[in-house]
Amino acid sequence: MRFSGVVFGFLISVSALQGQKLTLKFLDNNWILGGKTQMEIHFIDKRGRDFSSNPDVVGRILNKHKLRISIYHGVYYPNYGFAIKVNEIKPTDAIIISLNYTQGSKEYKKDTTIYLPEIISVIPEYFHADTAIPGEKIVKNLRVIFSNGIEANTTQNIGLPGYFENNSNFRNAMRDGVYPQLNATRFEPVFIWNLFIKSTQKICYSDSLIIRFKYNYVFSGGGANGRNGNNGSSGDNGKTGENAGDGAHGQNGENGTNADDVQVYIQRIQSGSTVSKVKIVDFHTTHLAYVDLANGGTILLNLNGGDGGNGGQGGDGGNGGHSNADEGLRAGQGGNAGYGGDAGNGGNGGTAIIYVDSLNMRYLNQIRISNNAGNPGKQGIKGSAGNGKEGASDGAYGKDGNAGVAGRQGKETVFLKWEP
């Protein structure tokens, strides 16, 4: 059957999906240029016999197909894609992605084989690009989601076709360790990358690897620093022949300016460029980016909340009170003010660990991070005694300055939203 525009056919080995889950996402049943697409799902047994089903995009439940060694369960979810699940898997099993398109009176076909028994999701979607199939303005963006312990330090481990293996940028990225080491203990998808299919001459094929990660995020800053405590007031004068009163307490410190905001770091790979580390500080941003799995597991982004503010410095102790003199003698002098205590250290910022929602692939979980408050400041040191003369009592010690107020906690909510 001939179609105008571009047609993607997927030839899927049954055993390649046993024990796994495949998701095919249909965004629309028409190309923007007016052509028609049809997604073909083929189930092939060991002898090459084909058990085929062609789901439409309005969403219908497919019947079960019992093969020799496994049972196929399939259902099309209008919001999430077409899912199938079978029971067994072999390392040599493959998924063949076939690109078929027509240009004028000629028909072209390009197959891509991915030897990935670990694959659990393939989501084809429409994608605009300056470089497109000759005669067309549409290009396909294929997002493949991996799990179950893929260690893709070399292209051979993920079975990419030869034109990836011969791509120096991609090879260097692998060498520099920017490809993920995924967690073998989690089943849900934890990493997303795209095959960007563009054309050269008359044949459309994938000759570039571009990581496309579009997201919105909102973050809040860390806790504020506490302000220094006020000095204590002077003590009252003592009565004749008696000790003077103590100095008053210093006042509590108050909150000051904000500490550092959350910092979001990603690593980026683009065809024709080197790997770079980028700090993202703006909101509602789209980036072609590789998201670093820094801990080799299911972490997509590390969001470090700002540290809690430092506690305010304790207020200085009040001056000792003067004592009244006996007749004919000088009054004793008041004691010196006590010194304010040191400011307390700010609490550490929390860390948000973000996971992909394994069901609908659209939203990242909302994570709350808690920052510790700053420690309180130390109390002020007492003032020294006054130097009273004969007949007069010494002035009293100034009282301790109060501790500085603890720094506020960092804000707690970090929210990221996946927008394909």
What are the pLDDT digits (tens) for 279-297? 332 222 222 222 322 222 2
- Segments making up each domain of the chain, as ranges: 6-210, 216-262+305-420
Looking at the predicted structure, is the pLDDT value of residue 315 above 50? yes
User: Rounded to two decimals, what is the model's pTM?
Assistant: 0.28
Answer yes or no: is pLDDT of 328 > 50: yes
Using alpha carbons, select from 283, 328, 327, 319 the residue that is nearest to residue 399. 319
* Owner of token pair 């969403």: 59
Q: Under a CB-based contact definition with an 8 Å cutoff, are residues 293 and 300 in contact? A: yes
Q: What are phi and psi of 277, to 5 degrees?
A: -105, 130
> Where do the DSSP E strands lie in 35-138?
40-44, 50-53, 65-66, 71-77, 81-85, 95-103, 106-114, 119-127
> What is the pLDDT, as a whole number, of residue 302?
37
Q: How confident is the model at residue 396 (pLDDT cuts 50, 70, 90)?
A: low
Q: Which helix (H) or strand (E) holds 264?
A: strand 264-268
Give the bridge partners for 332, in sequence order: none
The band of 326, judged by pLDDT with boundaries at 50, 70 and 90, is low
In whole angstroms, what is the distance from residue 179 CA to residue 109 CA? 29
> Residue 141 has what pLDDT?
28
**What are the residue ranges of helices labelled H in 235-356?**
none
What is the tens place of the pLDDT at every residue in 188-245?
A: 222 222 222 222 222 222 222 222 332 323 333 344 444 444 555 555 454 444 444 4
Helices (H) and strands (E) in the chain, counts: 3, 23
Residue 304's beta-bridge partner residues?
A: 263, 351
